[in-house]
Structure 1
Amino acid sequence: MHNTGTVPQSAPAPAEIPAETPTAPAGDPHGDSGRHARRFGLPVATALVMGNIIGGGIFLLPASIAPYGTVSLVAFGVLTVGAIALALVFGRLAARDPRTGGPYVYAREAFGDFAGFLAAWSYWITTWVSNAALAVAAVGYLDVLVPVNQHRWTACLAALVLQWLPALANFAGTRYVGAVQLVSTVLKFVPLLLVAVGGLFFFDPARLGPFNSSGQGAIGAVSASAALLLFSYLGVESAAVSAGEVRDARRNVGRATVIGTAGAALVYLLGTLSVFGTVAHDRLVTSTAPFSDAVNTMFGGSWGGTAVALAALVSMTGCLNGWTLLSAQTPYAAARDGLFPSAFTRRRRGVPTVGVGVTVVLASLLTVYNYFSGSGRVFEVLVLVTTFTATVPYLLAAAAQIFHLLSGRPGAVDRSRLVRDCVVTAVAAVFSVWLMAGAGYAAVYQGVLFLFVGILVYAVMAARRQRKRAQASATGR
């Protein structure tokens, strides 16, 4: 899955990263041209999507959704349908505008700078909140090796260390980021495939537990568990975001997105089903390392679970490594377009250092807040915040497609597939709103606060651009 040599050196493709680093500003009309443009085709684009979707969150999610019962497996199916609808929308938008940037480009082109800023801002929030969530998940597997979960402050300290180590690797340059990704990518698939395939031979239906143990209706349980599970699908936009580097993007982005999403969904579903069928339900609900528990049940003893915990820990550290780079590249692209503060454009050895620094500080503060806020399920709270913030650019992309379908502009719509595009776009839009509702009040509350802060940032940046235009106009006269 590691794409070394197929992606520009200025835009390394860590296999865990759910979106490709832009090689040019997302709004740059020349972003899809140049020496490195269109460097990979359908197979590599598909591998990029699948490798980026399958990150570190899956290692804790079976335990997170276990309280809802096996109804959460239904949520997996519904989520997959919605994700594929989004994939098709991204494919159609990329066919219309095959520039690097994904939802940011689509929202800005359809609705202007403010919508583009909201897409970039929300996606940036998603990246660093995801860093905090992944660090908390990694602590659960670290606890199998070294007891750190016995006290809240030791768990919090471990989560902070797991965030700052990848940040230091990023400060060292993209060369080191890629080396870490290569190792972590290999180790990522070892426990996943071991449990997803091997676990089926140890499957016991008696361990599945009740169908719906959430205490709410089946529809509510599906919505709530799907909101958690969306975290594992972040990356469906990978090919669209990196459209500027995809050969024949108008044709390949949509195909790669659908195939990669379906492949990742199969691995997820088999892995979760195997964990559900090998670990007793009452034990799984309280597990902090479900894949380790599954391997221990399969082979007896604790050696297998320890080995899986080590592999999962390295994998999630690699995932943090890639997400840290992505979280810096997202504001870098927006800053190049004048929508983020210019400080985010500062680079060292190919890495936007200001973005890395700001990201790791914000993620650390959020981690400390959630550990000491009294919540007993820190990972779930952080994941639900990312569900809300991730669906904002997804919804804006769906809205952009609706705008193009209904605008009536010549050449904006393929009449031969108008009905199909309308149905798929409607499904993607409803799916995005449904996930926002399923995230819950606490996550929406934190997510909306982050968005409102972004509005203030946009006001400052818009005022600066207006002042510069006025000065340029005065100078011109």
Structure 2
Amino acid sequence: MSLPTATALVMGNIIGGGIFLLPASVAPFGTVSLVAFGLLTIGAVALALVFGRLAERHPDTGGPYVYAREAFGDFAGFLSAWSYWTMTWVSNAALAVAAVGYVHVLFPGHASPGTDLVIALGALWLPALANFAGTRYIGAVQLVSTVLKFVPLLFIAVVGLFFFDPDNLGSFNEGGGSALGGMSAAAAILLYSYVGVESAAMSAGEVRDPERNVGRATVLGTIGAAVVYLLGTLAVFGTVAHDKLVKSTAPFSDAVNAMFGGQWGGTIVAGAAVISIIGALNGWTLMSAQSPYAAAKDGLFPAPFLTKRRGVPTFGVLAAAVLASALTVINYLMGTGGVFEILVLITTFSATVPYLLAAGAQVYFLLTGRRDKVRPALFARDLTLALIAFGFTFWLVAGAGYAAIYQGVLFLFAGILVYAWMAARREARRGQQPLEDEPSGDASSGDAPTAPATPAGVR
């Protein structure tokens, strides 16, 4: 992947389907939510810079998993890989379900569970097919989809500023009470807007000149997403009356209609949303395979995850697509919405575990004097960035809510059984391997030859 492709991967994974409802979601809190968004952006950029620093000395596929294992050992690395893997395929199912609603806006008609299921499965498997074709095709899809969703969103964001009316904003702290309370409440909704900043680091092994380009792509992609988020939300706030925005189910469509009149904005925005979700699924399908691939190389995930063709871990892609499809089928055919909601809650917590471990690894490398593992740079600057990134991720955990943390921790601990099984198999294999430097011959006869000295660590 080139620098533009890696940047598109980061931006495309960050900007999914949530942006199209985000302004209406935070409107009840007033414009204090824009302040919260600004603070979150600072934390996200700090996290992006940390991933860039780590990738300079560890330009390997697996990103957060690689850093956690290097700093804290196999178990921490496994927890990072396990959490990230479960988060990706469950999130893919949620994205596919979200795409169905926008497809109905483009092609109105009588919806049925069967039709919706076919649309959702198509949204999952089309990106999977692009992944099977190799990283070149993934990059092409990612570049095209990112441009197609970035341009209309940026257009609304920039043009909307010319139609900006301060009277539409409402009050600063619409919910009443303290401004800090309103900002925290808005932040709880906005917190997961930047999940995906690690995408270039996760695929570092497939990025051209990763020591330079992973960090650049991570920062550029995060900043690009932030521009769309902040300007887009501000433009919608200023073009749609506050009382209408609070009740809106399509805030960007309402903004287009307010700017240009008519009712055609919904179709344009729905098309951009479908493209946005397909692009995000394309990138997240690759992410779902990279973390278990890196862990499998170290014997911490089953060996089939090592299967790789054209730069893509194909078994990981297949496994994630099958699991996400099964979850989607459960959602539509069996009507067990509660199970689906629980799994989505799990992802909100699972996304933070690799971030916390990666930021902690950066702090560890700096405090132990192993700055060669990160980047020869000013100690204070790198440590400050790492602490901001850790604080940002800790805020993510707090904002997930008690239910998400409870369900997520249970699922995280369930992975201990998988780790125990893989660790036992690895030890068994080690015990079965003969040592090449053992003396041969009949030791009892006293004529066993003397083995030559063997360097430490060589068999």
TM-score normalized by structure 2? 0.81
| Alignment partner of 1:388 is 2:349 | yes
Q: What is the deviation of 1:163?
A: 3.8
How many angstroms apart in 2 are the aligned matches of 1:146 and 1:89? 43
CA 1:419 to 1:180, structure 2 compared with 1: closer, same or farther past 3 Å? closer
Mapping of residues 177-196 of structure 1, within 5 Å? 177=138, 180-196=141-157
- Name the counterpart of 2:126: 166
CA 1:410 to 1:106, structure 2 compared with 1: closer, same or farther past 3 Å? closer
Q: What is the deviation of 1:227?
A: 4.1
| Alignment partner of 1:54 is 2:54 | no
| Alignment partner of 1:141 is 2:102 | yes
- Name the counterpart of 1:338: 299
Q: What is the deviation of 1:113?
A: 1.2
Q: Is the 8 A contact 2:46 2:388 kept in 1?
A: yes
- Name the counterpart of 1:121: 82
- Name the counterpart of 1:100: 61
Q: Is the 8 A contact 2:100 2:120 kept in 1?
A: no
- For structure 1, the 5+ residue unaligned runs are 1-6, 8-39
Q: Is the 8 A contact 1:169 1:176 kept in 2?
A: no
How many angstroms apart in 1 are the aligned matches of 2:36 and 2:350? 20
Q: Deviations over 1:343-363 (max 9, x none)?
A: 323456765444334323433
How many angstroms apart in 1 are the aligned matches of 2:377 and 2:145? 45
How many angstroms apart in 2 are the aligned matches of 1:416 and 1:112? 25
Letter in 2 for 1:314: I
How many angstroms apart in 2 are the aligned matches of 1:384 and 1:106? 26
CA 1:205 to 1:128, structure 2 compared with 1: closer, same or farther past 3 Å? farther
Letter in 2 for 1:257: T
Q: Is the 8 A contact 1:125 1:389 kept in 2?
A: yes
Secondary structure at 1:98 match in 2? coil
How many angstroms apart in 1 are the aligned matches of 2:215 and 2:310? 33
- Name the counterpart of 1:11: none
Q: Deviations over 1:107-162 (max 9, x none)?
A: 111111111111112222232232133224323322323458988x5796367335
Tell me how many residue pairs correspond in the alignment.
434
Q: What is the deviation of 1:254?
A: 3.8
Letter in 1 for 2:64: P
| Alignment partner of 1:73 is 2:34 | yes
How many angstroms apart in 1 are the aligned matches of 2:195 and 2:219? 14
Letter in 1 for 2:285: T
Letter in 1 for 2:158: V
Secondary structure at 2:378 match in 1? helix
- Name the counterpart of 2:453: none
How many angstroms apart in 2 are the aligned matches of 1:282 and 1:337? 55
Q: Is the 8 A contact 1:336 1:345 kept in 2?
A: yes
Secondary structure at 2:351 match in 1? helix
How many angstroms apart in 2 are the aligned matches of 1:148 and 1:218? 44
CA 1:158 to 1:65, structure 2 compared with 1: closer, same or farther past 3 Å? farther
CA 1:147 to 1:453, structure 2 compared with 1: closer, same or farther past 3 Å? farther
How many angstroms apart in 2 are the aligned matches of 1:364 and 1:66? 34
Q: Is the 8 A contact 1:57 1:137 kept in 2?
A: no
How many angstroms apart in 1 are the aligned matches of 2:209 and 2:124? 38
Of 249, 272, 278, 1:317 maps to: 278
How many angstroms apart in 1 are the aligned matches of 2:131 and 2:216? 35
Q: Is the 8 A contact 2:65 2:294 kept in 1?
A: no
Q: Is the 8 A contact 1:162 1:317 kept in 2?
A: no
- Name the counterpart of 1:421: 382
Secondary structure at 2:262 match in 1? coil
Q: What is the deviation of 1:196?
A: 0.9
- Name the counterpart of 1:431: 392
Q: Is the 8 A contact 1:188 1:311 kept in 2?
A: yes
Letter in 2 for 1:262: I
- Name the counterpart of 1:157: 117
- Name the counterpart of 2:93: 132
Letter in 1 for 2:240: V
Q: Deviations over 1:22-54 (max 9, x none)?
A: xxxxxxxxxxxxxxxxxx46x665555445433
Mapping of residues 458-473 of structure 1, within 5 Å? 458-473=419-434
Letter in 2 for 1:160: A
Secondary structure at 2:62 match in 1? coil
Q: Deviations over 1:288-325 (max 9, x none)?
A: 43322322222222223212312321332232233223
Secondary structure at 1:117 match in 2? helix
Mapping of residues 77-476 of structure 1, within 5 Å? 77-147=38-108, 153=113, 157=117, 160-166=120-126, 169-170=129-130, 173-174=133-134, 177=138, 180-213=141-174, 217-244=178-205, 249-250=210-211, 253-347=214-308, 351-366=312-327, 385-408=346-369, 417-473=378-434
CA 1:206 to 1:406, structure 2 compared with 1: closer, same or farther past 3 Å? same
Letter in 2 for 1:419: A
Across the aligned residues of Structure 1 and Structure 2, the Cα RMSD in angstroms comes to 3.6
Secondary structure at 1:338 match in 2? coil
Q: Is the 8 A contact 1:148 1:158 kept in 2?
A: no
If you compute each CA radius of gyration, which structure gives the higher value, 1 or 2?
2
How many angstroms apart in 2 are the aligned matches of 1:359 and 1:414? 34
- Name the counterpart of 2:447: none
How many angstroms apart in 2 are the aligned matches of 1:382 and 1:69? 31
How many angstroms apart in 2 are the aligned matches of 1:259 and 1:182? 14
How many angstroms apart in 1 are the aligned matches of 2:311 and 2:386? 37
CA 1:255 to 1:183, structure 2 compared with 1: closer, same or farther past 3 Å? closer
How many angstroms apart in 1 are the aligned matches of 2:196 and 2:154? 20
CA 1:128 to 1:90, structure 2 compared with 1: closer, same or farther past 3 Å? same
Q: What is the deviation of 1:278?
A: 2.4
TM-score normalized by structure 1? 0.78
- For structure 2, the 5+ residue unaligned runs are 439-459
CA 1:46 to 1:186, structure 2 compared with 1: closer, same or farther past 3 Å? closer
How many angstroms apart in 2 are the aligned matches of 1:187 and 1:44? 14
Q: Is the 8 A contact 1:60 1:137 kept in 2?
A: no
